[in-house]
Amino acid sequence: MIIDWTLHSFHYERAVKSQKKIFYKCPICKRNNLARHGYYKRNIVRWQGTLEEVQLKILRVRCLACKVTHAVLPKDVAPYRIYSISFYLKILRLLFQFKGKVSCCQRILKIYHNFVYRTLHGIHLILYIFRKQWISWLYYLQSTKIITRKKVRQILFYTT
């Protein structure tokens, strides 16, 4: 699986179709030998003021060196989940706003309370998946002098 941090699900299909050359590296062998291998449809529920369900055509690529296929996902799609990162963040934001009252979150979003509990239980998996990419992105920003080393440490270790 490859997560493209430059693509959002709103522009994903148009951006992927307009790319002539595949510039991603294979996560397995680290080579630039990827070729288009097709598409598959994936339903995604995202939050844009209201819940909306959309169907995306996800690009599949195949490494010509190691013969492994990968999906190229946009940055706001959680791997192996139907709900987008924006929806999970909305749940967390409401829980913080209402001091952990699941019933308030359930009423506003019109979802079942057990889904909120499952989301809280599964949020650590999503954070773990994105941790590596997030840290590498922070160090990239530091190397380009966009943010300082001190700010990177504050973000990573939650210090002030």
Task: Quick: pLDDT tens for 47-76.
Answer: 887 888 899 999 999 999 999 999 998 888
**Average pLDDT of the residues in 111-140:** 72
> Computed from CA positions of residues 140, 145, 146, 151, in that sequence, does the dihedral angle turn out positive or negative?
positive
Q: Are strands 2-4 and 69-74 parallel, antiparallel or unpaired?
A: parallel
**Average pLDDT of the residues in 6-33:** 84
pLDDT, residue 155, reads 60
* Helix, strand or coil, per DSSP, at residue 19: coil
DSSP state for residue 26 in the 8-state scheme? P
Q: How many CB atoms lie within 10 A of CB 83?
A: 22
Q: Calculate helix-pair angle for 149-157, 113-143, nearest 10 degrees.
A: 160
pTM of the model: 0.65
**Average pLDDT of the residues in 147-154:** 68
- Report domain extents, the chain: 1-46+54-80
Q: What string of DSSP letters covers 70-121?
A: EEEEETTBPTT-SBBHHHHHHHHHHHHHTTT-HHHHHHHHT--HHHHHHHHH
What is the pLDDT confidence band of residue 160, given thresholds at 50, 70 and 90?
very low
90 pLDDT above the threshold of 60: yes
Task: Quick: pLDDT tens for 94-123.
Answer: 887 888 788 888 888 888 888 888 877 776
In angstroms, rounded to a whole number, what is the distance separating the alpha carbons of residues 93 and 4? Answer: 25
